[in-house]
């Protein structure tokens, strides 16, 4: 006991007002440095976020939403990959997708996209390979098998992409490839950083873009999410000057690296191009053969 008392007196003797002030200042500087490092370093931030258990996802009835989100496939259920902002995760994504948002009109994104200045990389423009319903069906079957998603859902997403691609003047195969890599075609997907929906839009940074579609909850409405995501991608392609730079900006890797994201998207797109090119080549060969026979 005597030793404990002596140690306590020695400690309290050192804790003078000046010492406490210096200690407080030092701790404050360290805290500011650590907070700044986390804010500017996205990989570190995501690693910290993913190390924390995610909020539980409440169950809701799927028959309360549009058929486009109805599927017996378990991959179409709500998926949360980490801790989000509490206001975003306290409710199931389907609960955020209110009846008002589902009924809200889905205006074209073209007026906003047309305001984007800067030259668009020709490689990001429409490849012109989807020219018939058979082309779309071929893509649907291929992607449905590859990602184990119901073909009906894939078909609906592709139909939306075809419309949006014309609105933003980008290649639909590029948009579809981004969607595949970003969310695996899960309209309810959420990332640790707060990216949401098919195109994994950081809703908290783009809330104003969802206003015409009913609000932030529309991030889980495919028609709205695809439009906002396509607009953002076109903006990044324009400011970076290339499709590669645009994709790096889109995934947030313009400075610290994209972790192979750009390569994944472009390979996915190239596979779709090859898929459709095979059909085009067969058609050309068939036409040439018919011409030869008729001569």
Tally of CA atoms within 13 A in the half-sphere of 143 that contains its CB: 31
Cα distance between residue 290 and residue 148, in whole Å? 39
Question: Rounded mean pLDDT of 273-291?
Answer: 62
State the pLDDT confidence band at 226, using cuts at 50, 70 and 90.
Answer: very high
- pLDDT given at position 66: 41
Give the CATH class of 62-294: mainly alpha
When comparing pLDDT for 221 and 81, which is higher? 221
State the pLDDT confidence band at 9, using cuts at 50, 70 and 90.
Answer: low
Domain boundaries, the chain: 2-40, 62-294
- pLDDT given at position 247: 97
- Contact 207/193 with Cβ under 8 angstroms? no
User: 151-162: per-residue pLDDT in tens?
Assistant: 999 999 999 999
Range in 3-17, 85-99, 107-121, 191-205 with the lowest mean pLDDT? 3-17
When comparing pLDDT for 275 and 11, which is higher? 275
| 79-80 β-sheet, strand order | 79-80, 189-190, 195-196, 201-202
pLDDT at 101 over 70: yes
Question: Rounded mean pLDDT of 35-50?
Answer: 46
- pLDDT given at position 259: 87
């Amino acid at each position: 006991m005597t030793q404990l008392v002596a140690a306590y007196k020695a400690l309290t003797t050192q804790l003078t007002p000046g010492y406490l002030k210096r200690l407080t200042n030092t701790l404050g500087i360290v805290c500011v440095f650590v907070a700044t490092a986390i804010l500017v370093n996205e990989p570190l931030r995501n690693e910290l976020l993913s190390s924390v258990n995610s909020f539980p996802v409440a169950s809701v009835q799927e028959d309360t939403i549009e058929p486009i989100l109805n599927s017996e496939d378990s991959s179409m259920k709500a998926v949360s990959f980490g801790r989000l902002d509490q206001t975003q995760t306290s409710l199931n994504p389907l609960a955020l997708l209110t009846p008002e948002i589902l009924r809200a009109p889905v205006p074209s994104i073209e007026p906003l996209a047309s305001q984007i200045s800067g030259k668009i990389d020709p490689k990001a423009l429409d490849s012109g390979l989807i020219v018939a319903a058979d082309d779309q069906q071929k893509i649907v079957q291929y992607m449905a098998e590859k990602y184990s998603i119901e073909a009906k859902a894939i078909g609906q997403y592709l139909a939306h992409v075809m419309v949006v691609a014309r609105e933003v003047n980008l290649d639909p195969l590029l948009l579809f490839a981004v969607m595949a890599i970003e969310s695996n075609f899960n309209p309810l997907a959420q990332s640790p950083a707060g990216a949401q929906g098919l195109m994994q839009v950081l809703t908290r940074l783009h809330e104003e873009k969802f206003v015409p579609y009913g609000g932030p909850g529309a991030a889980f409405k495919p028609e709205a999410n695809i439009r906002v995501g396509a607009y953002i991608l076109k903006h990044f392609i324009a400011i970076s000057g290339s499709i590669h730079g645009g994709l790096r900006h889109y995934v947030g890797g313009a400075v610290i690296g994209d972790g192979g994201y750009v390569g994944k998207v472009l390979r996915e797109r190239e596979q779709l191009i090859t898929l459709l090119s095979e059909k085009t080549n067969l058609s050309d060969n068939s036409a040439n053969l018919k011409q030869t026979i008729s001569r």
